[in-house]
Amino acid sequence: MSRIEARLAELGITLPEAPAPAANYVPYVRSGQHLFVSGQISNGPEGLIVGKLGAGMDVVEGALAARFCGLALIAQAKAALGDLDRVKRVVKLVGFVNSTAEFTDQPKVVNGCSDLMVEVFGDAGRHARSAVSAASLPLGVAVEIEAIFEVE
């Protein structure tokens, strides 16, 4: 068992299947030492996590939705690389939060994904990041996050 697989087991985390693309794009592209993972939407064990932050959905629910995005990002990295130990670093996350114009806690929502990356990859999980508001997201989901990984 790889080091990262062992860490996931220690944390009690089971990765979902890497989601198939929903339109005319690929789930990831490797270019040199970087793996670019397309935006992953908030999809939990019970299905899509839909809602708008600031209008019936709170920061705790949004952070959980972002965590599920992070699990999908890691699942895509595993599908691309075969072995998560090949991830040298989480370079950058870009998080989109379906939120009202008045909602300003997008960073706290995207922390759900950021915290997961550090839990799983340790210091190599610390990354640059953007957390922005969106008036709406595909299928009405609460959060979508894309990632760039440095890989071997």
- Bridge partners for 41 per DSSP: 144
DSSP string, 71-126: HHHHHHHHHHHS-GGGEEEEEEEEEEEEB-TT---HHHHHHHHHHHHHHHHGGGG-
- Does residue 37 fall inside a structural domain? yes
Our count of domains for the chain comes to: 1
- Does residue 115 fall inside a structural domain? yes
pTM (predicted TM-score)? 0.97
Q: pLDDT by residue (tens digit) across 22-58?
A: 899 999 999 999 999 999 999 999 999 999 999 999 9
- Does residue 19 fall inside a structural domain? no
Provide the domain limits for residue 100: 3-11+28-151
- Does residue 20 fall inside a structural domain? no
Q: Which pLDDT score, from 0 to 100, does residue 1 have?
A: 80
| Pairwise CA distance, residues 112 & 91, whole Å | 17
**Sign of the torsion angle spanned by Cα atoms 15, 17, 60, 120:** positive
- Does residue 23 fall inside a structural domain? no
Q: What is the CATH number of the domain that holds 86?
A: 3.30.1330.40
Contact 43, 49 (CB under 8 A): yes
- Does residue 22 fall inside a structural domain? no
**Sign of the torsion angle spanned by Cα atoms 16, 17, 18, 20:** negative
Question: What mean pLDDT comes out for the span 74-94?
Answer: 98
